[in-house]
Structure 1
Amino acid sequence: MSGSSSAGIAKPVACTLITWLHFFGADFFKGPDMSASTESVLDVPFPSRSVASDAIYHQVDLLLASSHFRNSKRHQRLLTFLTQKHIDGDMQSLKERVIGIEVFDRKPTYDLTLDPIVRGAMADLRKRLALYYSESPHSSELRIEIPVGSYVPHIHWPELEDGNTSSEIAVAKAKLVLEATPLPVETSGGTTIPAVDRRLTVRRYLLAAVVACICAAAIFFMYRMSETQRQNRDLASFWKPLWNSENEILICAGTLNGIMHEPVVENDTWNHVTRTRNHLDPNVGAALVSVSSLLGAQGKHPYMRIADTTTLPDLRRQPSILIGGFNNQWTVRVQSNMRYRISRLIPDVSGVVDTKNGDASLGTFDFSAPVNSITKSYAIITRLNDPLTGQYVLSLAGLGSYGNSSAAEFVTTPAYFALFAKQAPKGWESHNIQVVIETSLVEGKTSPPKVIAFELD
């Protein structure tokens, strides 16, 4: 795709991403905040570290002597261990597995999932601390708290309450918060992740996946739209010289020239049956319908003449579309000065030849072959500014069954014409053009055309 096309896609995609980021918030793609689990938290304004440590030891003694701790050796050991490691700055020991081994005498290989003793004890420790500080005699003491999702103590002086909240309400709130908060889980790498953060992380990943899918779908949809628009522009550029004419467009259709081809039942070969008047080739008729429909969609109203009744003055009055190969003498005249042309090679066999390559054949058609043995048809599409008529001419010259109708489909279907436009050099629109296509036949139905050669003059 061109740079302008890429920019056209990038802009709406960027807008889509910005919209989604705004909707979910800037924190949407952030992982769990583990800062509380890896850094020491000490918010105590003491003149020195030793003085601060003494104050912490004193506060731990007060806690252990209280009714909330003095009857629980397990919680005494746990609180002492956490505060001591905090004072020592040993943050690596404040992890679930280490606590289980050092405080609760678990083996180093114990299963954290099957044995949640540390998480259970931590939940109970938080409740005991909350209940202790909810009592008015202790409201102004140095606070030791263990934030949910972390095993690192947070130590700070309390902020005095305004008196509007009773100790009973404070206790109830503490119980509600602590009981409703999921316990943390230690990962295989030893990192402690709160359960609530794990759920948030999963939700973030799910939402990120949804956003990624929506963005991918938007990019694909906009690419398809851009590709379709480009194909439509290329086809319009091909037709532009004819569409821009103020005169009506003449469609000159080939005939059977007094001969009607009918299959003989015995051997299913083409048998020539002489007629007394011209007949429109059904293959030419199908091409006529395709071309007329496209012109009608552009507000053009073409008129048609049979090739045998068309004269040179007719072709000089307006642009023309020539449909047919050997059965249209005007097609033969147009191709006479072009690189690619249809030519009779031997009796009953014709082919598309390259006059710049020693009349090498690009494909042949045997008119004497059984109908069900024919697998290929060919066509030459020629668009040129005809020096003889002074008008633009579009020639659709088919060779073999369905050749003319395949040529018409090629110049009226954007996706088919794109097969040429993608290969053509920049500026092809201003040149005389020849395109040779090949179509396969399977059980009487044509496959999409394939470009086998083209020439710009």
Structure 2
Amino acid sequence: MGRAAFLDRNKKLSRAQLPAPVPDPDAPASLSLEMLRSDERWLLAQRIAASRHFSRSPLLCRFLLYIVAETIEGRAAQITEHAIGVRVFDRPRTYRTVEDNIVRNYARQLRKRLADFYSHEGAGEACVIDIPLGGYVPNFGSVSPEACHETAKEPATAPRPVLAVPAAVPPSTLKTRGFRWAYLLALAVYTCGLAGAVWFVSAWAHSPHPARRITDPLWESLLRSQEPTYIVPSDSGVNLMEDLRHQALPLADYISGNYLNYPLHDLNPHTADDLRTQQYTSYADMQIAFSIEHLPQFDAQRDSVRFPRALHLDDLKTSNVILLGSEDSNPWASLAETGANFRIVDQEGMDGARIVNTHPRAGEQAAYTSHWNEPSHETYALMEYLPNMAGTGHLLLLQGLDVAGTEAAAEALLHPAVIAPVLHNALRPDGTLRSFEILLRSTSIASNAAGVQVVTSRVY
């Protein structure tokens, strides 16, 4: 991401209040405020925004209300990641979504908060708002069992969805939206099933379930030992310094602090000092850390997030450590993965990276490379569960060739169906886990991981 933009962004993330969204000069005329207020979809969105699940997050409320209003006003096609970044998160029109993933991160939060809302405070709501994966245009539908039954029984005469177009909308507007509402009507059965899925996912997340327990041995080994566990996010400041110098930072310089003396001629002294001294990290990494902190095995009295500059060599010897990011952004990874079969290696001049397969088996490649500078490309990631340096604990490394790769590794870990066969293979008779490495593949679409697959693995 851009250097100045990176610094500005970290200063903006904590703001509780933001100015109103920037008007879009190319947008068609909006519906009247009175008509918007009479629309059931808008009233529902306002109730959700006022709920306890949303009211403490102004940005999530603003996100939800923006996409609902745009959809109601017939501008669903204009709900893009870039438009949301500009009008909801106050990004400049020149900002690049490949360098700033704030919209994708908040979209994940929004989907989770909506599911939480419908399983608790909004349990009595007759209608559901859903944000499909891979997009930002909301779906609206009924969750009434009766409506589902009637739709399935008499599709030709089924009543209109509860969330209908207001009667006051001009005929021309209705005509332009006719296809969209016909489409929604045809999806009535689907929306009922979707509502059931929302309830199922919520219940699944709060109760024992075989698919969810597959990672219990892993988390118990990392988070329920007598020693503390450190979640170590990436050091984005050092990563930017490496990009500026086109040279990787040796771990020895990182441990000794010699990198503080590196010349940064392209930056003014104040910005250079910020990169050397401030604790900048990836928002995506903090989202991963947040998810781990909410696991039932996590003990806030013992386990904690520790910035990599505050980590010590002894921590890798005596403690359990979860390292996020490759050695470019988390230099400790170079030491942690010593002896591993799969390693991330930089290209010359820091122009991308590749995953090297030290001992390829039949059908495997010797190296896996990502075309990281293309908006949509195949990317790779590693999930490695290894002993710590003293053999008294464990290290878990989640690292990718780019941001989408690291997110894909975290997604596979927190929603482990895709890696379940490897974990079953690594499970010992006594319930503990053998060390393992998993090479993952995903598709990066504008730095957002879409789908995760296991390419190959090693169990030791």
Same fold (TM over 0.5): no
Normalising by structure 1, we get a TM-score of: 0.42
Q: Whose strand proportion is higher, 1 or 2?
A: 1
